[in-house]
Amino acid sequence: MDELDTQIVRLLQTDARQSNRELARRLGIAPSTCLERVRTLTRRGVIRGYHADISLPALNRGVQGLVAVKLRVSSRTAIDAFKDFASRLPEVLSVFVISGDDDFLVHVALQDLDQLHAFLIDRLSKRKEVAGFRTSVVFQQVRNPVLERLPDPDSVSG
């Protein structure tokens, strides 16, 4: 990605609803150039889609939790099965396969603490492959809405 691609990505992360004409104007380039750059970034998989940022409390999901899950056996079959199971649950926002003492970190959002407790008992504890889990309630979340490309390690002088 060159500097123009980086600027396009930064501006689209700030407001993905802006028109191609507005994006081109802000970048100081022709709309046709801008459109071709965006299409190329999309084809290359840099831009994977455009999403609305929805308030979780507006969807009756005021409580978030991070659930660290340990499986009885860390085989590919068990990991794939649990990942598939967890990713299909409507309460689950994200599933991370991780290293360390736990096998997964599952980000959930539910109505309240009672619903979180019910989710843990009724959904997770009944899975035979789950050896145990630890849950942290999220009090506040700060998210960086604009990601920048990090420099290549070889190009950073130490």
What span, in angstroms and rounded, lies between the C-alpha atoms of 121 and 88?
Answer: 17
Burial class (CB in 10 A: 0-12, 13-18, 19+), 18: middle
pLDDT digits (tens, 9 = 90+) for 89-125: 999 999 999 999 999 999 999 999 999 999 999 999 9
Give me the phi and psi of 53, to 5 degrees please.
-95, 105
Tell me what pLDDT residue 144 has.
Answer: 84
Tell me what pLDDT residue 117 has.
Answer: 98
16 vs 151, more confident: 16
Token output for 154: 């070889």
151 vs 127, more confident: 127
Question: Which domains, ranges and CATH numbers included, belong to the chain?
Answer: 3-43 (1.10.10.10), 62-138 (3.30.70.920)
- The H or E element that residue 24 is part of is helix 20-27
pLDDT digits (tens, 9 = 90+) for 44-90: 999 999 988 899 999 999 999 999 999 999 899 999 999 999 999 99
What span, in angstroms and rounded, lies between the C-alpha atoms of 118 and 90?
Answer: 14
Three-state DSSP class for 140? coil
